[in-house]
Structure 1
Amino acid sequence: MATATPQALYGELFVAVQMARVFPDGKSFVDARPKAAPALIRARFDVERHSPGFSLADFVQAHFVLPGHDEPAGPRPTNPGHIRQHIRALWPLLVREHRTAAEGDSLLALPRPYVVPGGRFRELYYWDSYFTMLGLVADGRRDLAEHMLANFAHLIASYGFIPNSSRSYMLSRSQPPFFFRMVELLHADDPAAGFAKHLPSLQAEHAFWMDGEATLAPDHAHRRALRTVDGALLNRYWDDRDTPREESWREDVETAEASGRPHEQVWRDLRAGAESGWDFSGRWCADPADIATIETTALAPVDLNALLAGLEGAIALGAARAGDTATASAFEARAATRTRWLQTRFWRAKGGGMGGHFADLNWRNAADPRPLTAAALVPLYLGLATPPQADAMAAQVQRHLLGANGLLTTALATGQQWDAPNGWAPLQWMATQGLARYGHTTLARDIAQRWCASVQRVYLATGRLLEKYDVAEDRPGGGGEYETQDGFGWTNGVFVAFQDGLLEATAP
């Protein structure tokens, strides 16, 4: 399997290409395929770079097959009113296969076909895929969803975890742990049977997130596991490398240089922010307006810990079905303990004068006020909040996060893409399912209807389905490190799921 990253393979050539911004998007070079052995290309660069008139851009063009930003939507629709028909036509255009690893190619080999998000995202992504799978199942493409689940199980078996995406340069980090939800989706009639079938994979993923827990002293952390000063065992996002992200090398170098902080710490926190899927948001920063103050590893995120409680509950159910009562009891206790921590440590009774809400926890400074974000609805999504907490969260959504076109990601206007005024498909889905689960069906349907109507209006105006939307106005979302992409896997999936009435199916 190809595991060496582009930076390791190409050394000074890699740094030169990324720092010179040969491509507007740093992901272009790390996704390029070499036309010769990487060692040979590197040797040629070492010689030719000193020649008169040497052109770095020409050298790259001569020695690499560059990725094209394929138009996943194909030609503009002839009948743009039929958005569901358009989405059904998109699924096969977003399917990829890559069964054999090639030397120097950052793309990891996978045994089955898979659906990519679209645009610059040309590989299998972790948490994106769950929301894509919602639409695949609803649209009669369960076969593709099954293939994707098999690929994720293969990644766990191969690497001990599911990487951020199926690229060598993503092998130092994961993403929000949705594997158990994928299993549940594809075993909806009997989730416990699905959890039993995939029990080794579920336990391996949990072990990845909890690595180092057995020897953790209070007020210490190891990788993704941490223990608070009074002994609570929680989790954070992390990355095993403390160098600039290879796909955003120049941006990360510049951020670190502007920070006045140790560069390795800034890079680790940027990478950890990428593991969160929220790359980037003022949520992770000491000063929300300044990305250079990012401190992701100082925070125990409410959504991550809720998902891990869900994973622990899934393992308990699967072990019980498999007849392993000791494991079932141990993980039932883990899930109950983490749920209790969520309901206490992550709950702000008077968060900034806004009333009660869930929030991230600064694990070394519990008094640190953290902003209200859409992540606060993940405990509701997984059924881990108390009814009064759910009621308070519904009031907070109506007061602070409800936009004209759906749910705001945060109330922070920072210019980052995971902040206002953007709204994202996975957050619309988790919020509506969580609110409906606790009886706030009217609000849940209102969010879903607002978001779907905006997706429809932007589609009619542009012929595009986008990764993110402005939930204040009918237009594409913006901000962040790259242009808004179209395709787009999780938007397609969530739109289809909403249209097929899955919200109503979860309401009391």
Structure 2
Amino acid sequence: MRRFSRLAALMLACAALGNAPPPSPAELFGNLFIAVQERRIFDDNKTFADAIPQKPPAEIMTDYRAAPPVDDKALRSFVLERFTVPGVNDSGKAGLRAHIRNLWPQLVRQPAPVIPGESRIALPGPYVVPGGRFREIYYWDSYFTMLGLAADGEHALVESMLDDFTSLIERFGHIPNGTRTYYVSRSQPPFFALMLDISKEPDAAVQARRLQALRSEYAFWMAGSACAGRQRACLRVVRMPDGSLLNRYWDNRDSPRDESFAEDRASANAASGRPSGQIYRDLRAAAESGWDFSSRWLADGRTLPTIRTTEVVPVDLNALLWAMERRIARGCGEAGDASCSQDFAHRADRRKRAMDRFLWQAGEGRYADWLLAEGQPSATLSAATLYPLFVGMASRQQADAVAELTRAKLLAPGGLRTTLTRTGQQWDAPNGWAPLQWIAVSGLDRNGHGGLARTIAMRWTATVERTYEGTGKMLEKYDVEESLPGGGGEYPLQDGFGWTNGVASALLDRYPSLERAAP
């Protein structure tokens, strides 16, 4: 320690004489600097190197020597009390849950008229956007955002968003990927049925309107049923080898996406021997899946030009459609429409039988996507295997097997892995995503695996809190191998962030002891 003090004094003296450059932070703050950097109090070492002292360095070092911080939390508090740290402001001193509550108003958007020629689609009520480059409402993001809004008492905003989605179905026949004109040709994972279960709306007329909207959305997903009888697949419907119907992701257009035009053209140009329209539709279908992009959709498991999303029968989509069928059956029953209730209950039963036959892989203890061209299950293990547990369609034996595989393969130090494959795509290892953590935690907990569910929740919230404390931000995705900000994909890492906030609040509401005290 004395060596650093003498060196700092010497450097300051030389600087005053104009004989040397000014001392660096490492030279000025010696063992304090080493402790902060080596113990990674901030995720990026450049953060503390760029910090601005709020009092003379000598006084800060006197304070440090007089009472050295005993642990990382105390060290971080010591630094924040004496430095202005870039990217970390006073809000970082609040607990995570309080920080999220303060973020909601920043992510709320009010209805506004559309200017002629702009791509935005107007909505009737207030809504929450994810944040960053995502300046509009997104379909499946919003379910996870709503979980947090409900946990934080923002029930009026939840109901407003449900009314917004109802209006979109009434206008377009489905909920678009997002509220931009270029998103209307596709949807996203169908969570509207599950959103209805978050609602506290008592008005029977509102409930009836929403149920009708849900039935319209179901018709959108099943619109290819008639022509699927004459061919293997039509639109979003697939006829399996035994004649049963399951679903796939699709897009009604086969051109480059407006929002990723150059990237899609590059992918099509890199593909050999395939029509560009086919590439574009598969890219668009992957965007409908929400997993854009992932090894799940890649024929070679690694490179984007081999994408074949429309040739995959996804387990998560079909689990959600089973939940939709069950929710319609329940809604019709509550409304006194026994015929409708029975019809949709039978549809759900048929879907479950088909999924058990084709998607459940008993020998491996997992649910798998089905590859149409090969006529066999995909070898790619992904967190989508937990969706049947989440919606409640797995048997106890199936749930036990999936839980065992999840613990052995998908559980990482910082939460749940998305897949086991590193491709550079964002929906692959080492990334973890808030929605998949919630799917896993809820699905495992409801199927008798509360210990594993809590472990995933604990590891994920610790990752989110650590990154928040280091950066002051809530991020779109995280590296669950290293408990760091996530990477990969076709755009920079985004902060905000709607579904991360929502899942964090919902998990901390479920497990209050997981929230660390404010630093």
TM category, shorter: 0.7 to 0.9
What residue is the counterpart of 1:330 in the other structure? 343
- CA distance in structure 2 between the partners assigned to 1:376 and 1:97 by the alignment: 37
Distance of 2:263 and 2:88 partners within structure 1: 33
Does residue 494 (structure 1) correspond to residue 503 (structure 2)? The answer is yes
Answering whether residue 221 of structure 2 is matched by residue 209 of structure 1, we say yes
State the 4+ residue runs in structure 1 displaced beyond 3 angstroms: 74-79, 190-197
Deviation by residue 1:227-271 (Cα, 9 ceiling, x = unmatched): 123211010000000001111001100101111121110100000
Aligned residues: 426
Measure, in 1, the Cα distance between the counterparts of 2:343 and 2:512: 33
Note closer, same or farther for the CA distance 1:172–1:503 as it changes in structure 2 (3 Å cut).
farther
Asked whether 1:166 is paired with 2:179, we answer yes
Q: Is the 8 A contact 1:180 1:195 kept in 2?
A: no
- Say yes or no: does 1:264 pair with 2:273: no
Work out the CA distance in 2 between the residues paired with 1:245 and 1:191: 40
TM-score by length of 2: 0.79
Does structure 1 retain, via aligned residues, the 8 Å contact 2:367–2:385?
yes
Give, as a single letter, the amino acid of the residue that structure 1 aligns with 2:210. Answer: H
Cα distance in 2 for partners of 1:483, 1:191 equals 43
CA distance in 1, matches of 2:212, 2:350: 22
Of the three residues 458, 461, 477, the one matched with 1:449 is 458
Distance 1:78 1:502, change over 3 A: closer
List aligned pairs for 1:43-442, cutoff 5 A. 76-187=89-200, 196=208, 198-217=210-229, 219-260=231-272, 261-350=274-363, 355-442=364-451
In the superposition, relative to structure 1, how do residues 323 and 414 fare at CA in structure 2: closer, same or farther (>3 Å)? same
Q: Is the 8 A contact 1:285 1:295 kept in 2?
A: yes
For residues 161 and 437 of structure 2, the distance between their equivalents in structure 1, rounded to whole angstroms, comes to: 23
Could you tell me which runs of 5 or more consecutive residues in structure 2 were left unpaired when the two chains were aligned. Answer: 1-86, 514-519
SS in 2 for 1:108: coil
Q: What's the CA shift string for 1:102-124, capped at 9, x where partnerless?
A: 11110001100100000000001
Matching residue of 2:32:
none
Q: Report deviation, 1:194.
A: 8.1
The answer to whether the Cα contact below 8 Å between 1:266 and 1:294 also exists between their aligned partners in 2 is yes
Alpha-carbon distance in structure 2 between the residues aligned to 1:278 and 1:469: 15
Deviation digits for residues 339-388 of structure 1 (CA, Å, limit 9, x no counterpart)? 122222101233xxxx2210111134332533110011000000111111
Q: Is the 8 A contact 2:189 2:290 kept in 1?
A: yes
Q: In the TM superposition, what is the alpha-carbon distance from 1:187 to its structure 2 partner?
A: 3.9
What is the CA distance between 1:195 and its match in structure 2?
A: 6.1
CA contact (8 A) 2:297 2:308 kept: yes
* One-letter amino acid of the counterpart of residue 469, structure 2: L
Letter of the 2:250 partner, please give it.
W
Instruction: Map 1:448-487 to 2 at 5 A.
Output: 448-487=457-496
TM-score when normalising by structure 1? 0.81
Q: Which stretches in structure 1 are left out of the alignment for 5+ residues? A: 1-73
Amino acid of the residue matched to residue 366 of structure 2? H
1:244 is paired with a residue whose SS is: coil
Amino acid across the alignment from 1:289: R
Percent identity at matched positions?
A: 53
Secondary structure at the residue paired with 2:376?
coil
Distance 1:234 1:503 in 2: 39
Question: Counterpart of 2:45?
Answer: none
Is the Cα–Cα contact under 8 Å of residues 477 and 484 in structure 1 kept in the other structure? yes
Helix, strand or coil for the counterpart of 1:119? coil
Q: Is the 8 A contact 1:131 1:494 kept in 2?
A: yes
Q: Distance in 2 between matches of 1:76 and 1:465?
A: 13
User: CA 1:317–1:416 in 2, change beyond 3 Å: closer, same or farther?
Assistant: same
How far apart are residue 101 of structure 1 and its match?
1.9
- The offset of 1:197, in angstroms, is 5.2
Instruction: State the secondary structure of the residue aligned to 2:121.
Output: coil
